[in-house]
Amino acid sequence: MDASAIAPDVLAAEASSSVERPLARVPLVLNQRNFAWLTERIAGVVEGPAPRWWWVAFAVCAGVAGIGLFCLGYQISTGVGTWGLNHPVGWAWDITNFVFWIGIGHAGTLISAILFLLRQKWRTSINRAAEAMTLFAVICAAIFPGVHVGRVWMAWFMAPLPNNYGIWPNFRSPLLWDVFAVSTYFTVSVLFWYTGLIPDLATLRDRATSKVKKFLFGLFAVGWRGSNRNWRHYEMAYLLLAGLSTPLVLSVHSVVSFDFATSIIPTWHTTIFPPYFVAGAIFGGFAMVLTLMIPARAIFKLHDIITPQHVDKMAKIILLTGSIVSYAYAMEFFIAWYSGNQYERFAFWNRVFGPYWWYWWVGMLFCNAMSPQLFWFKWCRRNVYVVYFVCMCVNAGMWFERFIIIVGGLHRDFIPSSWGMFHPTWVDIWTFVGTFGIFMSLFLLFIRFLPMIAMSEVKIVLPEADAHHVSPGERHVVAAGGGTGT
Amino acid sequence: MRTPAGNKVYAMAAEFPSASALYEAAKRVRDAGFKRWDVYSPFPIHGMDGAMGLGKSWLSAAVLVGGVTGLLTAMILEFGPSWFIYPLIVHGKPFTWRTVPAFFPIMFELTILFAAFAAFFSMLLMNGLPRWNHPVFNWQRFARATNDGFFLVIEARDPRFTELEARELLEGSGGQHITIIHDED
């Protein structure tokens, strides 16, 4: 495949088409890059020596992760009393962090599954990293419900295992649904991610120079050789995994919201929760995808693969989901008033003017509802600094939102005599900070050892991947019969 | 059939300059009546299944079986203990047919879980993976099949295979670097 032979003609076609056809599609990979360039650029990140910044960043993140693990160890060995939990606030940062992290994971599955089913070809540039982010976010999320039970060595009670106590999980409890939903979500995400990785691992295997790398990439590439008889089953499996992941991802945050919605706490006991939570999850998740991909794109010079068009489209999804979330916020207030229920009305009044007032004004109103509205303007969607600012607002805002829902609902419920406040301890704070260390450490390891962009998928969106594409100067021997079933 | 070096011949292979050239060549090989042959590309080429005369992948059937198995597993797992082995009354809620919807989420999750496992493992199984090695890797140029190379390989065990005919067909289809790939032994 000779790039220089293709480039001038495609360039000319591009130039003329932009004049004649104002609605011509902007190419997904810029500068007429060819297959070999994509392989070289993406695999090159993994094959080259680790840059110095990587070691520094990894050391810092691993250090923070270490603090988090120390806090977890301290909490497990001492007890949940090391957290600031009390009566009435029995769930606070632990569950806030759980919902925050699991929500972030949802964007990865949306990109890999839902956008695949919708034939959004631009997803190919970002799906691998977004799916990796999903896995790491779910790992961080799973820590919190795991340890907040207190006696983690009793966690096996959550599994339906016959035992001599005659105790069996209550299958009608949303908390058990959550155990099944999150573990299924993680498992299916791993399968989907690994299925997508197999062809790229084969690329790394075929390029590997050292024996150890050849063996390891060879082992995990399971002998993949790009045969079309294999691609046929592979594509069907990929399609079906996308089809299975789509209802799954929508179900996971719905089930998370059931943890709240099936209770009787004011502000929790609402039917709007499942769609509201799912939209919020995708909203927060896309912000995190951009938070990771904008620096990664700049550092590894991937601007031809993750183009302004990609950022623009993700910004539009943030705008859409952010607006759905804002609508849900407004609807909650309306229903609180319309229901005539005094506890519900008070809880929402308390949300805005109570002791946690600034969480609402800053987190929910400014960060979540207002800041994404900048994305109505194309200039804002094309300016990475504005995009990054909004993403940071959304990252913070979505954490605040979960805190307001959880603690805001609990701290002043029905009887004023049982009201209270929540104050985090250092263990609360550093466990949460520590999960960022875990998340970032895992992500840094990922970009170091695995191709962060799905090479075999990005190649499909190049024009010359089409079976009917004719490069200039290329002569085809065309079969008489023609293709069938295409 | 043996190569000059004494190895068994695995196949006759050619490289093609582009996805579209490979697509056209595949149609010719299909029309020539070969059965044991394959094309190799760094990404799936849309329409290649038709050009090779392959039908729909029936991996979907395995996934259906997986999903149904998951659903039945969840039903047995939930209803068996809840109704018969450990009937646990929580919140004073009895077990009647009215409470069945509360069992749906776990049925749904296990349906998805088993179907996803079925999709993944039947993909490997139907592709004959994992495997340690394959004769095509004996060809040096083949390393580009996962980068930017497009290859067509006609196996020697195809009943129609003769060295001459395979070579002529590949040459006539625009194949380059036509070569014999030898087997392991």
Q: What is the pLDDT of residues A16-26, one digit of tens each?
A: 444 556 667 78
pLDDT at position A2? 44
pLDDT at position A482? 46
Do A173 and B63 make contact, defined as CB atoms within 8 angstroms? no
Instruction: Choose between A297 and A470: higher pLDDT.
Output: A297
Q: Which of A356, A360, A386 is nearest to A374 (CA)?
A: A386
pLDDT at A357 exceeding the cut of 90: yes
Q: Are A363 and A262 in contact (CB under 8 A)?
A: no
Per-residue confidence band for A486, with pLDDT thresholds at 50, 70 and 90: very low
Closest chain A residue by Cα to residue B37: A229
pLDDT at position B84? 84
Q: Report yes or no: B44 at the A interface, CB cutoff 8 Å.
A: yes
Q: What is the pLDDT of residues B78-129, one digit of tens each?
A: 988 888 888 878 888 888 888 889 999 999 999 999 999 999 999 999 999 8
pLDDT at A10 exceeding the cut of 70: no
Q: Report yes or no: A172 at the B interface, CB cutoff 8 Å.
A: yes
Q: Report yes or no: A286 at the B interface, CB cutoff 8 Å.
A: no
Q: Report yes or no: B162 at the A interface, CB cutoff 8 Å.
A: no
Sign of CA dihedral A44, A50, A51, A53: positive
Q: Within 10 Å of residue B28's Cβ, how many Cβ atoms?
A: 21
Q: Are A271 and A255 in contact (CB under 8 A)?
A: no
Q: What is the pLDDT of residues B19-71, one digit of tens each?
A: 999 999 999 999 998 999 999 999 999 999 999 999 899 999 999 999 999 99
Q: Are A257 and A274 in contact (CB under 8 A)?
A: yes
Do A457 and B146 make contact, defined as CB atoms within 8 angstroms? no
Indicate the pTM of the whole model.
0.91
Q: Report yes or no: A359 at the B interface, CB cutoff 8 Å.
A: no
Q: Angle of helix A228-261 relative to helix A384-411, nearest 10 degrees?
A: 40
Who among A35, A188, A474 is closest to B21 (CB)? A474
Interface test with A, best of B10, B37, B43 (most A CBs within 10 A): B43
Q: Report yes or no: A258 at the B interface, CB cutoff 8 Å.
A: yes
Mean pLDDT throughout A110-138?
A: 92
Q: Report yes or no: A263 at the B interface, CB cutoff 8 Å.
A: no
ipTM associated with this complex = 0.94
pLDDT at position B109? 96
pLDDT at position A400? 96
pLDDT at A1 exceeding the cut of 60: no
Q: Report yes or no: B17 at the A interface, CB cutoff 8 Å.
A: yes
pLDDT at position B96? 83
Per-residue confidence band for A8, with pLDDT thresholds at 50, 70 and 90: very low
Sign of CA dihedral A154, A157, A159, A165: positive
Who among A173, A237, A247 is closest to B119 (CB)? A237
Mean pLDDT throughout A470-475?
A: 64
Mean pLDDT throughout A386-392?
A: 96
User: Cα(A391)–Cα(A462) distance, rounded to whole angstroms?
Assistant: 30
pLDDT at position A473? 61
Q: What is the pLDDT of residues A214-224, one digit of tens each?
A: 999 999 999 99
Per-residue confidence band for A475, with pLDDT thresholds at 50, 70 and 90: low
Mean pLDDT throughout B156-165?
A: 88
Q: Hey, which residues 89-148 in chain B have their CB within 8 Å of chain A?
A: 90, 93, 99, 102-103, 105-106, 108-110, 112-113, 115-117, 119-120, 122-124, 126-127, 129-134, 136-137, 142-148
pLDDT at position A5? 44
Who among B53, B123, B126 is closest to A195 (CB)? B123
Closest chain B residue by Cα to residue A486: B47
Do B23 and A467 make contact, defined as CB atoms within 8 angstroms? yes
pLDDT at A169 exceeding the cut of 70: yes
pLDDT at position B95? 83
Do B48 and A231 make contact, defined as CB atoms within 8 angstroms? yes
Which residues in B lie closer than 8 A to residue A237 (C-beta atoms)?
Answer: 59, 63, 119-120, 122-123
Per-residue confidence band for A154, with pLDDT thresholds at 50, 70 and 90: confident
pLDDT at A15 exceeding the cut of 80: no
pLDDT at position A472? 65
Q: Read off φ and ψ for residue B11, nearest 5 degrees.
A: -165, 170
Is the backbone peptide bond immediately before A463 cis, with ω within 30 degrees of 0? no
Do A180 and B110 make contact, defined as CB atoms within 8 angstroms? yes
Q: Give Cβ neighbours of residue A344 (< 8 Å, ≥ 6 apart).
A: A266, A267, A335, A336
Interface test with A, best of B148, B151, B170 (most A CBs within 10 A): B148
pLDDT at position A170? 87
Which residues in A lie closer than 8 A to residue B142 (C-beta atoms)?
Answer: 225
Do B49 and A176 make contact, defined as CB atoms within 8 angstroms? no
Q: Report yes or no: B68 at the A interface, CB cutoff 8 Å.
A: no
Q: What is the pLDDT of residues A26-68, one digit of tens each?
A: 888 888 888 999 999 999 999 989 999 999 999 999 999 999 9
Strands ordered across the beta sheet of B9-16? B37-40, B150-155, B9-16, B176-182
User: Cα(A314)–Cα(A51) distance, rounded to whole angstroms?
Assistant: 29
Which residues in B lie closer than 8 A to residue A234 (C-beta atoms)?
Answer: 44, 123, 127
Distance in Å, alpha carbon of A11 to nearest chain B alpha carbon:
19
Instruction: Choose between A183 and B92: higher pLDDT.
Output: A183
